[in-house]
Chains A and B, each alone.
Chain A
Amino acid sequence: MAADPSAPRMRLDDDGERVLHLGGRLDLARVAMLQQALAALPAEAPLAVDLADVEAMDTAGAWALACLAARHRAADQSVTWRNIAPGHAALLDTVTQALPQDTEAAPPRTSMTDRLEQIGRAAFAGLTFLLELLTILGLFADRLVQAVRRPRAFRLTSLVHHCHEVGVKAVPIVALMAFLIGVVLAFQGSSQLRQFGAEVFVVDLIAISVLRELGILLTAIIVAGRTASAFTAAIGSMKMREEVDAMRTLGLDPAQVLFVPRILALLLMLPILGLIANVAGLFGGALMSWVELGLSPGIFRTRLVEGISATHVLVGLSKAPVFALIIGVVGCHAGMKVQSNAESLGRMTSAAVVTAIFTVIVANAAFSVFYAQIGV
């Protein structure tokens, strides 16, 4: 910068009257130098600024001059401009008028009470969230009863559509996932059990873990990923484009139109998907046992029928409606929370998936404890 011939030049004459002679280019590229030099000037006496040698001025240069003037005004000293070009005068005027008056206070330090307040707010937000989820659940139940009383209000076409989307279209991925889980269980189980010569118990291992826990849990996780996000995206984009508000003005109930078909479809489809997962898991396990241990399908079947009680299947499938409600309610709730920008749609969609999966896993753990306590 030292070699820059257009660098701002300044000279202060102080014989009776303070006159600051400025020259060079007062522009954005050189404003740092200019501002530094001007800030060093004390504001204790009136100042005249002679701008005769100024080659160019932009808003940055004018800003530096306006700051100088503001500093003098604050100290009750006058600043006058001399030999200012008309264009520069207009610019300086505009900048002086627009110059922000306030100097922002530093951000306040967070005290202990602030932290406590934050914790309180977070806890309150958590409770509100649970309450809102319950509200959606209540709305769903209420509108479902209403639909039973007045079947005309019920949207059958919509229900069938969502059953197709949620259920039928999820069959391939759910079946493949469960099949592979069965394969992995058989493979890992057989290599461990072979050490004790207890290969045949691989059937019990596969059957109990798939039927009781893994079949329905992993199905619910996949459905949460697929469907909760789809619900949020669909309802959320309708919310974003004010379609939900339009529905209300047309006398349509968003809960009846949007929630009931979706959550009901999940409620109907998730047990079926769980059943398919069970069958596919057992099939995968049987196949792998045959390949790995030479356990023929006949023996597998006999062992399965004789050794495993149907309670396991019922215990597994009894969780399906609860998981379905969780996924549906979380997805719909997140959709209704979407605001009028695309960013919140993306945020709520991913939040819906995370919340749904997390809640499903927590519920599954609660079920495990519950069934262990009652000894089923």
Chain B
Amino acid sequence: MQGSDIAIRVRGLCTRFGTHSVHEGLDLDVRRGEILGVVGGSGTGKSVLLRTIVGLQRPAEGDISVLGTDLARASEADRQALEQRWGVMFQDGALFSALTVRENVEVPLRAVPGLPASIRRALADLKIAMAGLKPVARGKFPSELSGGMRKRAGLARALALDPEIVFLDEPTAGLDPIGAAEFDTLIRGLSRSLGLTVFLVTHDLDTLHATCDRVAVLAERRVLVTGTMAEMLDVDHPWVRDYFHGPRARAAQADAAAHPKEKT
């Protein structure tokens, strides 16, 4: 594996809140173009890891480099350039409540120099459509949308600048099974056609089966194991075994076997 194939490299990461330690010596690699699912029990710091990688949380120790840029040592200008190359979808969309969906998606596009308003609008509408929202949703405010629609709008905003990496925090949490399955298909489709690297934090076994190329399991304050779903089944660790062999896991597995994801 060559260095340039790694989109996100985390080495020896320690995150602490006061005396409470969330990560101790955590290592993780995310390859370019793959969809990596991060799973773990509640409180194992999945979202904290995501927030640390995108720079919302300062690590106590350790190195994080994203697309070849070392976050701790990068200059302000480098950091800003890097932030244009990733998009983050927060759990509930985190849309700006005072703006309509279209205006929300236009926010990152306003930073592009020399982009006329008409093209900005058209591109925002395109991203909204690509995220699977109907045209009527464009003029609505976040408070008028359902949870699933807010997530889609959040995804449209995250995709606005054609990022290379997308971070998704629990994309299917709180969605009904049909909406969740649609979202899985959407993520997989977009990741393939746009060549996205996806860092996906989830609890949803169906999502893992349907979308992820690899899975990283967070436990005991580090990444316990990474590998494909098939490899997860052979891991001999109590939590991993319970997670991937539980009754829900079996149902998701059977479902995935019945509808294999298309390979590219």
Residues of A within 8 A of B (CB): 1, 27-29, 31-32, 35, 58-60, 63, 67, 87, 90-91, 93-95, 98-100, 102, 104, 339-341, 343-344
Contacts and interface: CB of A to CB of B under 8 A. Distances in A.
B190 A1 contact: no
A58 B115 CA distance: 15
A59 B114 contact: no
Nearest to B132: A98
B162 A100 contact: no
A95 B162 contact: no
A59 B194 contact: yes
A343 B97 contact: yes
A99 B123 contact: no
B247 to A, nearest CB: 31
A90 B193 contact: yes
B123 A59 contact: yes
Contacts of B129: 98-100
A239 to B, nearest CB: 14
Given A93-B193, A339-B143, A343-B143, A63 B116 contact: no
Contacts of A59: 123, 126-127, 130, 159, 162, 194
A91 B193 CA distance: 5
Given A32-B119, A59-B162, A341-B143, A94 B125 contact: no
A59 B164 CA distance: 12
B123 A87 contact: no
Contacts of A90: 192-193
Interface of B: 97-98, 109, 112-116, 119, 122-123, 125-127, 129-130, 135, 143, 159, 161-162, 189-190, 192-195
Name the prevailing secondary structure of the A interface residues: helix
Contacts of A343: 97-98, 143
Contacts of A1: 114
Contacts of B192: 90
A58 B126 contact: no
23 contacts: A27-B162, A28-B161, A28-B162, A31-B115, A31-B119, A32-B119, A58-B162, A59-B123, A59-B130, A60-B123, A63-B122, A63-B126, A87-B195, A90-B192, A91-B193, A94-B190, A98-B126, A99-B129, A100-B135, A339-B143, A340-B143, A341-B97, A341-B143
Contact of B112 (A29, A99, A100, A102): A29
Contact of A94 (B123, B130, B135): B130
Given A32-B116, A59-B162, A343-B143, A100 B193 contact: no
For A1, A60, A339, the residue with the greatest tally of chain B CB atoms inside 10 Å of its CB is A60
Nearest to A104: B135
A91 B115 CA distance: 21
Contact of B115 (A28, A93, A98): A28
B102 to A, nearest CB: 11
Given A60-B162, A63-B122, A100-B135, 4 more contacts: A28-B112, A32-B115, A60-B119, A94-B189
Contacts of A93: 193
